[in-house]
C-alpha cells in the first residue's frame, strides 16, 4: 500500500507511520516537492485503505499490485509534466533536447548552443564526463567541461542536460546548476547512484540499460522516487540484440508500454539507437508518432571533427530540417513543438 499526502505536517506523517507499524509493517517516506508518499513495507493485506484515508493530511491510500509503487500509473492517472526552468516536459508539448555528444572546447560549445537555439530546441545536451568502452578513448573534459557547458548554454538561455557517472561528481553538478541530470545506460542499476539522485531536487533522465527489461527499468526509477525525487524522465536509447548492422535496436514498443505502466514522461535517444546520422530522422519521426514526450538528438557544429560519436551527430542545418518535420508530425497527433 502507498499513502499519498499533500503538504502534510511532520505530525501527520508521524501518525501515518505509527499506524503502519502498529500492524507490524515498516514504512518508507518519500518527500516530493508537491506530495509525500509513504510506502508500507511488508504484508500490506493487513492494512485497511479506509482507515488511512480518514487520517489528517492523507489524500488517498491505495493497494498497488505492481512491485514499483510511486512511479506506477495505478495511483497517478494523469500524465506528470516536469517543469525544467519553466519548460514543460510531458503533456501536450514535446521537447527536443539537442547538442553534442561531448563538451570539447568553449568555441565548439558556443557554436553548438547557437545551433541548438537556431533550430528551436529549448534544452541543450552535452557530456562533460564520458563513459567509454575503451579506457584509451576520450573520457570527457570533466569539471572544466561543466563550466564550459554552463557558459555556452547561458548565453542562449538554454537549460543543460548532462550525464552523472559517479556520486563523487554530484556536488560539482549542483555547484554548476545542472538543470537535468542524466543517468546513462551503464548506470541504470547503479543503486547507490540512484539513491543519491533521489535526494536532490533536480529532474533525472533515466536511460534504459542496454539489456534491461521494462520491469527492471521501472524498478530502477522506483529507487529514485523512493528517495523523494519524483521528477523522473524515462529515456529509451535502444537495446542490444543479435543485429550488428546498426548500433542498437530502438524499442518503439517500450514507449507504448511505459505510457500504460507509468505516469512519468518518456523520451527517446535516436542517436544512440541508430549510431548513424542518416538513421536519426527516421527514428525520431517514429518515436514522436509513437507518443514520445521528447527526444535526445546529437548535433555538432562540425560532426566530422567531433571527439566522440562523430558518425551519429547531425549538423546544425540537419537539425533545423528535422525540427520542421517533427513539428508536422506533432501537429497531426494533437501535440506541439514550439
pLDDT for res 226: 94
pTM of the model: 0.92
Report which of 101, 3, 84 is spatially closest to residue 311, judged by C-alpha positions. Answer: 101
pLDDT for res 153: 98
Using CA atoms, how far residue 45 sits from 48, 52, 72, 204, in Å, is 8, 13, 19, 33
* 201, three cell numbers: 531536487
Predicted confidence band of residue 136 (pLDDT cuts 50, 70, 90): low
Task: Report how far residue 138's alpha carbon sits from residue 58's, in angstroms, rounded to the nearest whole number.
Answer: 51
pLDDT for res 38: 94
CB 98 within 8 A of CB 322: no
Q: Could you tell me the residue ranges of all domains in the chain?
A: 2-62, 82-332
pLDDT average, residue stretch 271-286: 97
pLDDT tens string 171-188: 999 999 999 999 999 999
CB 271 within 8 A of CB 246: no
Q: State the DSSP H helix or E strand holding residue 286, giving kind and residue range, or none if neither.
A: helix 280-289
CB 210 within 8 A of CB 185: yes
pLDDT tens string 210-261: 999 999 999 999 999 999 999 999 999 999 999 999 999 999 999 999 999 9
Report the CATH fold assignment for 82-332. TIM Barrel (3.20.20)
pLDDT for res 32: 87
CB 207 within 8 A of CB 266: no
pLDDT for res 139: 76
What's the CATH code, domain 2-62? 3.30.70.1140
pLDDT average, residue stretch 308-321: 95
Angle (nearest 5°) at CA 183 between 330 and 272: 55
Amino acid at each position: 500500500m502507498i499513502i499519498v499526502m499533500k503538504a502534510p505536517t511532520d505530525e501527520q506523517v508521524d501518525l501515518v507511520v505509527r499506524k503502519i507499524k502498529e500492524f507490524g509493517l515498516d514504512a518508507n517516506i518519500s518527500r516530493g516537492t508537491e506530495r509525500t508518499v509513504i510506502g508500507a513495507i511488508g504484508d500490506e493485506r493487513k492494512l485497511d485503505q479506509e482507515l488511512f484515508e480518514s487520517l489528517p493530511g492523507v489524500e488517498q491510500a491505495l493497494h498497488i499490485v505492481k512491485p514499483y509503487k510511486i512511479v506506477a500509473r495505478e495511483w497517478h492517472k494523469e500524465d506528470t509534466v516536469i517543469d525544467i526552468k519553466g519548460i514543460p516536459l510531458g503533456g501536450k508539448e514535446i521537447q527536443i533536447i539537442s547538442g553534442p555528444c561531448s563538451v570539447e572546447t568553449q568555441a565548439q560549445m558556443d557554436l553548438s548552443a547557437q545551433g541548438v537555439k537556431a533550430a528551436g530546441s529549448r534544452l541543450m545536451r552535452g557530456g562533460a564526463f564520458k563513459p567509454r568502452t575503451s579506457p584509451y578513448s576520450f573520457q570527457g573534459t570533466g569539471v572544466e567541461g561543466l563550466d564550459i557547458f554552463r557558459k555556452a548554454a547561458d548565453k542562449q538561455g538554454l537549460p543543460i542536460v548532462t550525464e552523472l557517472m559517479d556520486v563523487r561528481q554530484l556536488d560539482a553538478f549542483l555547484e554548476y546548476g545542472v538543470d537535468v541530470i542524466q543517468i546513462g545506460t551503464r548506470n541504470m542499476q547503479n543503486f547507490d547512484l540512484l539513491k543519491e539522485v533521489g535526494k536532490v531536487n533536480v529532474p533525472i533522465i533515466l536511460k534504459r540499460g542496454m539489456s534491461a527489461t521494462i520491469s527492471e527499468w521501472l524498478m530502477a526509477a522506483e529507487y529514485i522516487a523512493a528517495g523523494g525525487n519524483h521528477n523522473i524522465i524515462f529515456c529509451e536509447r535502444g537495446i542490444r540484440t543479435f543485429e550488428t548492422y546498426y548500433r542498437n535496436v530502438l524499442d518503439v514498443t517500450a514507449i507504448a508500454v511505459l505510457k500504460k505502466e507509468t505516469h512519468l514522461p518518456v523520451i527517446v535517444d535516436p542517436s544512440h539507437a541508430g549510431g548513424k546520422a542518416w538513421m536519426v530522422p527516421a527514428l525520431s519521426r517514429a518515436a514522436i508518432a509513437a507518443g514520445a514526450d521528447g527526444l535526445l538528438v546529437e548535433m555538432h557544429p562540425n560532426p566530422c571533427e567531433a571527439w566522440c560519436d562523430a558518425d551519429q551527430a547531425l549538423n546544425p542545418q540537419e537539425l533545423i530540417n528535422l525540427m520542421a518535420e517533427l513539428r508536422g508530425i506533432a501537429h497531426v497527433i494533437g501535440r506541439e513543438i514550439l
